[in-house]
A and B are shown apart, each in its own frame.
Chain A
Amino acid sequence: MISFEAVNKKFADGTTAVRELDMEIPEGQLTVLVGSSGCGKTTTLRMINRMIDATSGKVRVDGRDVRDVNASTLRRNIGYVIQQSGLFPHRTIGDNIATVPRLLGWDRKRVRDRVVELLDTVGLARDLAGKYPHQLSGGQQQRVGVARALAADPPILLMDEPFGAVDPVVRTLLQDELLRLQDELHKTIVFVTHDIDEAVKLGDRIAIFKTGGHLVQFSTPAELLTHPADDFVADFLGAERGLKLLSLTSLADVPIEPVTTVTESTSVAEARRAGDGWILAVTDNGRPRGWVHVDHLPADGVLADAEPIVAAGLTANASLLAALDATVSSPVGLAVRVDEDGCVAGVSSPQQINERAARFRAEVLVP
C-alpha cells in the first residue's frame, strides 16, 4: 500500500505542485490520478519512487517512509512506464526489457527466459527481441515499455500518461490489454492521465486533482459519477455523466432474446421467405454481418450481394453504454449479442438494457 500523509511539494520557483495531500492508495488496485495540467498529478506520482522528493510530509510504501530507502533500490522495485515509452534507442527490445533484471544481477538464462515470457504477456512476437525500438510501431513500443516495467515483477507499477502519444484506436487496444493484464497480475497500479474517459474506464479508484495541487475527490468511478464532490468535479466529468455511468457495468445480466438469422450464402428468394422486414445476415460461421430489409434485396443472387447496415456483435463483457449505442445505430433498435466465439447468440432491446441500467443506478445511487 502507498500512503501520503500531509504531503506538500513546493518547487524552487515558488509554485506549489501538491498541497496537504492525504491519500491511501489501496493494494492490488488500479488507481487513476486525473486532472488538468499543472494540478500536481504527475508530481504526486513521481514522489512515490522519489523522482521528486516531497517538501514536507511523508510518503510511505508498505509502511516505510520512502526517504529511508536508497532511491535506486526503491526504483528497482517499482515499475515505471512513461509517455512515448522512453525505451533506450540503442538497445534491442530484449535488452530493454532485461534492464532491471540485469541491474538486480539475475543470471543470463533467467533473464532470457523472463524476456520471452514478458513478450508473450504483453502480446508481442518473440522475434521482436532482437529489433531496435525505432523498428517498432508506437503501440508496440508502448507494450515493450510495459514489459520492461514488469520485468522484475515489482508489486507496484507507476504509469505516467502511458497511452498519451498513440492514436485513439491503439489507445483503446492498449487500455483493454492493461485491464486484462491487471486481471491476472493484481499489481498496485498508479496511473496518471488527463483524460476522464480513460480514468473511468481503467480506474478501480479515481483521484481528481485541481490546479494548485488540491485533491478534490478520491473515490470509485461510480461514486464519482453519481456523487461528484463539488461543481469542479461535476464540470470535469462533463455533461454526459449518466451515460458514462452506463460504461461501468456490463451486459452480462441483460437477457438475450432469440433472433432469426440468415446466412450470406442463402439465395435471395429463400431469404425473402425468412421474414417480412429486417432480417439479420450472418457469415457462414455465424458471425453478425448486419441488418438487411427484404424489400431492398437484389432481384436474384445470394444474400451476400445485398449491402447490410453493419451490426457489431456485443459480448457479455461489453458495457451498457456500448449496447445502448448499438440499439440507437440499428434500424430495428436492437443490440446484437454474440457468444465468446463471436457467433450470434440473439438480441437485446433498449427496454431490457434500461431495466439493467435502472437496477445499476439503484445500486450505486444509494446516498
Chain B
Amino acid sequence: MRWSWISDHAGELAMTTLEHSAIAAVAVLCGLVLALPLGVLAVRFPLLKGAVLGISGVLFTIPSLALFILLLPFTGLSYETAVLGLTVYTLVVLVRNTVEGLASVPPNVREAARAMGYGGTRTLLTVELPLALPVIMAGVRVATVMTISLVSVAGFIGHGALGQLFIDGFQRDFAVPVIAGVVITLMLALVADLLLVVTQHALTPWTRRGR
C-alpha cells in the first residue's frame, strides 16, 4: 500500500470532494424546487396526487446506470446529465415528504387561518409550509445522503467526482484511491446530514421541547 498517494494528491482530492458536494447539492436543490410545487399540487388536487406520486415512484425504480444511459441522447456525457439523473432520484423522497408534511398540518389550524382572513397563498406560505417543514426536511436529509453516494455512479459518464477514484483505482489495480474515495464519501454524507439537522433546528424553533 502506498498511502503517500493520498498526501501527494491532497489538492486534487480536495477539489474532487468540492466537486462531489456541488453536484449533490445542486441535484437536491433542483429536486426540492421541483418537488415543492408538485407536492402542493398533489395536496390541492387529489386527482393529481396518484399521478404525481406514481410517476416519481416509477422513475425511482429505473436502475441508476440505465437512467444515465437513457439521458445520453439528450444531454450527452455532460455535467447536466449527471445532475438531471440525480435530481430525478431525489423526487420520490422529496415529493412524498412534501405531500405528507402538508397533510400533517392540523385541519383546525388551516381553518383558523381561513377564518381570520388568510387567503390560500398566504396560508400555504406562512402556515402550511412552515408546519410541513420538519417532514420535508426529513426527506431532504434522506435525499441528500442518497445523492452523495449516487454521484459516484455518474463516474461512468465521466462526472462521478469521487466516483472517478473508484474507476481509477480499479483500472490500475491500486486500492488506496478506492479506500480514500469511500472514506471521503462517507464523511461527506455525515457532515451534510449534520448540517441539515442544525439547519432544521434553527428553522423550527417551535418544535424544541421546553416548558
Contact A80 B112 (CB under 8 A): yes
Q: Which residues of B contact A73 (CB under 8 A)?
A: 117
Q: CA separation between A68 and B119, bound complex, in Å?
A: 17
Stretch with Cβ within 8 A of B (4 or more), from A87-95, A296-304, A334-342: A87-95
Q: Mark A37-78, 1 if CB is under 8 A from B, else 0.
A: 000000000000101000000000000000000011111100
Closest B residue by C-beta to A77: B117
Task: Give chain B interface residues in 106-125, CB to chain A under 8 Å.
Answer: 106, 108-109, 111-119
Contact B204 A86 (CB under 8 A): no
Q: Which residues of A contact B117 (CB under 8 A)?
A: 71-76, 100, 103
Task: Give chain B interface residues in 66-118, CB to chain A under 8 Å.
Answer: 106, 108-109, 111-118
Q: Is B206 an interface residue (CB 8 A)?
A: yes
Q: CA separation between A134 and B111, bound complex, in Å?
A: 18
Q: Which of B108, B117, B131, B210 has the most CB of A within 10 A?
A: B117
Q: Which residues of B contact A99 (CB under 8 A)?
A: 116
Which of B112, B118, B210 interacts with A86 by CB under 8 Å?
Answer: B112
Q: Which residues of B contact A75 (CB under 8 A)?
A: 114-117
Dominant SS at the A interface?
mixed
Interface residues on A, range: 20 to 34
Q: Which residues of A contact B130 (CB under 8 A)?
A: 90
Contact B206 A132 (CB under 8 A): yes
Q: CA separation between A91 and B210, bound complex, in Å?
A: 15
Q: CA separation between A148 and B108, bound complex, in Å?
A: 15
Task: Give chain A interface residues in 94-135, CB to chain B under 8 Å.
Answer: 99-100, 103, 132, 134-135
Closest B residue by C-beta to A73: B117
Q: Is A249 an interface residue (CB 8 A)?
A: no
Q: Which residues of B contact A285 (CB under 8 A)?
A: none
Q: Is B211 an interface residue (CB 8 A)?
A: yes
Which of B112, B131, B204 interacts with A82 by CB under 8 Å?
Answer: B112
Q: CA separation between A210 and B1, bound complex, in Å?
A: 87
Contact A89 B115 (CB under 8 A): no
Q: Do A51 and B114 contact each other (CB < 8 Å), given the known contacts A86-B108, A88-B109, A88-B127? A: yes
Which of A49, A74, A76, A90 interacts with B206 by CB under 8 Å?
Answer: A90
Q: CA separation between A145 and B118, bound complex, in Å?
A: 16
Q: Which residues of B contact A83 (CB under 8 A)?
A: 108
Separation in Å of the B128 CB from the closest CB of chain A? 10
Q: Which residues of A contact B114 (CB under 8 A)?
A: 51, 75
Q: CA separation between A51 and B107, bound complex, in Å?
A: 14
Separation in Å of the B124 CB from the closest CB of chain A? 14
Q: Which residues of B contact A85 (CB under 8 A)?
A: 108
Separation in Å of the B161 CB from the closest CB of chain A? 37
Tally of A-B residue pairs with Cβ under 8 A?
Answer: 61
Q: Do A135 and B115 contact each other (CB < 8 Å), given the known contacts A87-B109, A89-B131? A: no
Q: CA separation between A88 and B110, bound complex, in Å?
A: 9
Contact A135 B108 (CB under 8 A): no
Q: Which of A51, A72, A88 has the most CB of B within 10 A?
A: A88
Q: CA separation between A186 and B205, bound complex, in Å?
A: 38
Q: CA separation between A91 and B117, bound complex, in Å?
A: 17
Q: Which of B112, B118, B127, B205 has the most CB of A within 10 A?
A: B112
Q: Which residues of B contact A134 (CB under 8 A)?
A: 206
Q: CA separation between A100 and B117, bound complex, in Å?
A: 8
Closest B residue by C-beta to A75: B117
Closest A residue by C-beta to B109: A86
Q: Do A72 and B118 contact each other (CB < 8 Å), given the known contacts A80-B112, A86-B112? A: yes
Contact A100 B116 (CB under 8 A): yes
Q: Do A103 and B112 contact each other (CB < 8 Å), given the known contacts A88-B127, A89-B131, A90-B206? A: no
Contact B109 A135 (CB under 8 A): no
Which of B106, B115, B127, B206 interacts with A80 by CB under 8 Å?
Answer: B115
Contact B211 A76 (CB under 8 A): no
Separation in Å of the B190 CB from the closest CB of chain A? 29
Q: Which of B114, B127, B204, B205 has the most CB of A within 10 A?
A: B114
Q: Which residues of A contact B106 (CB under 8 A)?
A: 86, 89
Residues of B whose CB lies within 8 Å of any CB of A are: 106, 108-109, 111-119, 127, 130-131, 204-206, 210-211
Q: List 16 A-B contacts (CB under 8 A).
A: A51-B114, A51-B115, A71-B117, A82-B108, A84-B108, A86-B108, A86-B112, A87-B109, A87-B112, A89-B109, A89-B206, A90-B130, A90-B204, A100-B117, A103-B116, A148-B116
Given contacts A76-B116, A80-B115, A90-B130, 12 further A-B contacts (CB under 8 A): A72-B118, A82-B115, A84-B108, A86-B111, A87-B112, A88-B109, A89-B131, A90-B204, A90-B206, A100-B116, A132-B206, A135-B211
Which A-B residue pairs are the 3 nearest by beta carbons?
Answer: A86-B112, A76-B117, A80-B115
Residues of A whose CB lies within 8 Å of any CB of B are: 49, 51, 71-76, 80, 82-91, 99-100, 103, 132, 134-135, 148, 158
